[in-house]
Structure 1
Amino acid sequence: MRTRTTRRRGIVALVVATMACLFVFTPTASAHGTIVGPPTRAYQCWDDWGSDHMNPDMQQQDPMCYQAFQANPDTMWNWMSALRDGLGGNFQGSTPDGQLCSNGLSRNNSLNLAGPWKTTTINDNFTMHLHDQAAHGADFFRVYVSKQGFDPTTRSLGWGDLDFITQTGSYPPANDITFNVQTSGYSGHHVIFTIWQASHLDQTYMWCSDVIFN
Structure 2
Amino acid sequence: MELKATSSKTLYVLLGTLLALALMMVFTTKASAHGYVDGPKSRALLCKEGVNKNCGAIVYEPHSLEAPGNFPSAGAADGKIASANGAFPELDAQTATRWAKVPMTSGANTFTWTLTAAHATDKWDYYITKEGWDPNSPLKRSDLELFCTINDGGKRPDFSVSHNCVVPERTGYHVILAYWEVYDTANAFYNVIDANFDGGFIPPGDGDGDGDGDGDGDGDGNVAEWSPSAVYLNGDRVSYNGAIYEAKWWTQNEQPGNSQVWALVSGSDNGGGDGDNNGGTDGDNGAIAAWDSKKAYVSGDQVTYNGIVYKAQWWTLGETPSSSAVWQAIN
TM-score, normalization: structure 1? 0.69
Match of 2:181 in 1: 197
Unpaired stretches in structure 1, ≥5 consecutive residues: 1-27, 50-61
Distance in structure 1 (CA, Å) of the matches to 2:134 and 2:197:
13
Distance in structure 1 (CA, Å) of the matches to 2:32 and 2:103:
28
C-alpha deviation, 1:164, in angstroms: 1.3
Match of 2:40 in 1: 38
Match of 1:169 in 2: 151
Match of 1:183 in 2: 167
Distance in structure 1 (CA, Å) of the matches to 2:124 and 2:156:
13
**Alignment of structure 1 residues 70-149 onto 2, 5 Å:** 72=56, 74-85=57-68, 87=69, 89=70, 91-105=72-86, 107-115=87-95, 116=97, 117-124=99-106, 125-149=108-132
| Matched-pair contact (CA < 8 Å) for 1:29–1:80 | no
| Matched-pair contact (CA < 8 Å) for 1:188–1:213 | yes
| Matched-pair contact (CA < 8 Å) for 1:103–1:205 | yes
C-alpha deviation, 1:160, in angstroms: 0.5
Distance in structure 2 (CA, Å) of the matches to 1:93 and 1:136:
21
**Alignment of structure 1 residues 56-75 onto 2, 5 Å:** 65-68=52-55, 72=56, 74-75=57-58
Distance in structure 2 (CA, Å) of the matches to 1:36 and 1:29:
21
| Matched-pair contact (CA < 8 Å) for 1:38–1:210 | no
Match of 1:157 in 2: 139
Match of 2:5 in 1: none
| Matched-pair contact (CA < 8 Å) for 1:128–1:181 | yes
Return closer, same or farther for 1:81/1:94 CA change in 2, 3 Å cut-off: same
Q: In proportion to residue count, which structure has more helix?
A: 1
Match of 1:3 in 2: none
SS of 1:133's equivalent in the other structure is strand
C-alpha deviation, 1:82, in angstroms: 1.0
Larger RCO (CA within 8 A; separation ≥ 6): 1
SS of 2:165's equivalent in the other structure is strand
Amino acid at match of 2:60: W
Distance in structure 2 (CA, Å) of the matches to 1:147 and 1:182:
15
Return closer, same or farther for 1:163/1:34 CA change in 2, 3 Å cut-off: same
Q: How many residues align?
A: 164
CA RMSD of aligned residues (A): 2.2
Q: What percentage of aligned pairs have identical amino acids?
A: 23
Q: Which has the larger radius of gyration?
A: 2
Match of 2:272 in 1: none
SS of 2:109's equivalent in the other structure is strand
Amino acid at match of 1:42: A
C-alpha deviation, 1:199, in angstroms: 3.6
Distance in structure 1 (CA, Å) of the matches to 2:120 and 2:113:
10
Return closer, same or farther for 1:100/1:191 CA change in 2, 3 Å cut-off: same
SS of 2:48's equivalent in the other structure is helix
Q: Deviations over 1:108-153 (max 9, x none)?
A: 111111132111111212111010011225321111100112242x
| Matched-pair contact (CA < 8 Å) for 1:103–1:206 | yes
Distance in structure 2 (CA, Å) of the matches to 1:30 and 1:78:
14
TM-score, normalization: structure 2? 0.46
Unpaired stretches in structure 2, ≥5 consecutive residues: 1-29, 199-331
SS of 1:168's equivalent in the other structure is strand
